Amino acid sequence: MRRSALHGLPPTDWIMTRSDLVEQLAERFGQLTQRDADAAVKAILEAMGDTLVRGHRIEIRGFGSFSVNHRPPRLGRNPRTGEPVPIPERRVPHFKPGKALRQAIESSPTEAPS
């Protein structure tokens, strides 16, 4: 995992990238090559994305669920001028962590690994 390169975030903020996930899979499962692990991660992420694009829900027991939320159109304001700005309706992805994941996060130490 890499430290966040974003400005303003504390150095304890860590980011796991897709390549980090592929690397961990290849290490954990010795029979998988780096290429096989990359293909597996790519296939899973594509399947999840396609499912959400179709408007369906993804539920992974113990981890969480992914769904698509609808945001109705609304009237916002331009912060510089204060003028009203119409904001169109949107469909946005939403993740809700499962109970096991929430409990694991609550009971883990706040320090990121070194």
**pLDDT of residue 37 exceeding 80:** yes
Q: What global pTM score does this model have? A: 0.73
Looking at the chain, the whole-number percentage of residues with pLDDT higher than 70 is 84
Confidence of residue 113 (pLDDT cuts 50, 70, 90): low
Model confidence at 15, pLDDT cuts 50, 70, 90, reads confident
> What pLDDT is recorded for position 112?
52
Answer yes or no: are the C-beta atoms of 58 and 68 closer than 8 Å.
no
pLDDT of residue 4: 45
Q: What are the backbone angles phi and psi of residue 15, rounded to the nearest 5°? A: -125, 130
Read off φ and ψ for residue 43, nearest 5 degrees: -65, -40
- Average of pLDDT values for 32-46? 96
Q: Give per-residue pLDDT as tens, 50-108.
A: 999 999 999 999 999 999 999 999 999 999 999 999 999 999 999 999 999 999 999 98
pLDDT for 31: 94
**3 state SS for 36-93:** HHHHHHHHHHHHHHHHHHCCCCEEECCCEEEEEEEECCEEEECCCCCCEEEECCEEEE
